[in-house]
Amino acid sequence: MSQQGSRVEQITIGPFKRAHGQITLPGSKSISNRSLLLAALASGQTTLSNLLDADDTQIMRAALRQLGLTVEDQDETTCLVTGSGGRFPIREADLFMGNAGTAIRPLTAALVMQQGDYRLSGVARMHERPIRDLVDGLRQIGAVISYLGEEGYPPIQIHASTISIPEVVRIRGDVSSQFLTALLMALPLLAKEAIRIEVIGELISRPYIEITLKLMARFGVHVDSPDAHSFVIPAQPALQKGESVYRSPQSLLVEGDASSASYFLAAGAIGAGPVRVLGVGRDSIQGDVAFADALAQMGATITKGDDWIEASIPVSGTLRGITIDCTAIPDAAMTLAVVALFATGETRLNGIASWRVKETDRIAAMATELQKVGASIEAGSDYLVIRPPPVWQTPADGIDTYDDHRMAMCFSLAAFGPNPILINDPNCVAKTFPHYFAEFAQIARISA
């Protein structure tokens, strides 16, 4: 990496001719932050291992400590959480949530159940990421929440209020599945009777809801889903006894991050391979493992074990463009956009409207940066069409990453083109994968 005057830090990588090797994945961000909150709400102590050590999970840990929880780091990836039995010790706090959507959204719902006064804020981009659907859902149960800036966005103030559960709690599902996740994790704390949640409109990223439900079950709360848009939290007998709803499983091993796996699997497909990722496999609870199936559709050779997936070059030696609905794999779909640079024909990614409300407007960012290397792009409100460059370009000012970790990691794959790639602000990967570029260097080869 280099620093030039007042310019942001940059890294130049490639051009690479081959990818080969094996990577042990860091823990899943989605599983890590859900597990931290569930452990905090449970009774007993929970040892979380292979926990992601990155900005987003450190933000969640810091918030829980500020709320009076004992969260002890045993080492970089192991944490011992002493649960609160559903009632946080601190009832008034000002919490800074950075740009961690997986932290602020479920924590907002859990804090409403505490009947205290809490302020939640973040970085400037967090204040541009919508939270209205979650707030509207919580207001249905009596929550009193004020917007402290623009209506519908953080920062927000949660006020102590009396909670009353209606016959049905309704929430939109077409902007972010994290809003539904937040309700599912928090409402059992009040489920003296069964609580029904209904999703209005399309439910995007359904596999992330499955992660939520499976983790809740590990902590003793089982949720029924009679149809694709309904969820029923059964009455919790523990509440009648004055006991904790969530119970510690004592220990929980966090799966490797399937979204992070996508970059290395893609490298294996582009750069001959084989590249094997350890920590996720055919039995993973993460929806983003379906990225490997998308690579297979493009012609890559994919093999899977119980806790590993491997990718290598197609038998034909050439990847082909595809049209694919990415509703279930929004994060990993970004990687497909860069893989498309190396495929014959066009690739169309549908169902990616949620990209616009992520760490940056990812549809606009991807369109801009892919064009820099010579690709032809068509972008819409919920789709992106990529046609590979007839002649690769080398952007002198580099690839901008928009303070978005996934932009930086995705465009590392462009270094398998004919030219070196300059990536601006590579340290933004600290959000979920601080050592990404060092790990990437382990499998990327300059010579064939």
Catalytic center residues: 331
**Tokens at 64, concatenated:** 């829980």
Peptide bond preceding 155 in cis form (omega within 30 of 0): yes
d(CA 103, CA 50): 18
Q: Is the backbone peptide bond immediately before 274 cis, with ω within 30 degrees of 0? A: yes
Q: How is the chain split among helix, strand and coil, in percent rounded to 5?
A: 35, 25, 40
Beta carbons within 8 Å of 388's beta carbon, 6+ residues apart: 321, 340, 341, 342, 343, 344, 375
Question: Rounded to 5 degrees, what angle do the CA atoms 407, 342, 376 make?
Answer: 70
How far apart (Å, rounded) are the C-alpha atoms in residues 391 and 395? 13
Query: Rounded to whole angstroms, how far apart are CA atoms 289 and 205?
Result: 13
- Specify the amino acid at residue 244: S
As to burial, measured by CB atoms within 10 angstroms (0-12 exposed, 13-18 middle, 19+ buried), residue 228 is exposed
Closest CA to 374 of 321, 414, 317, 316: 414
Enumerate residues 6+ apart whose C-beta is below 8 A from 447: 17, 18
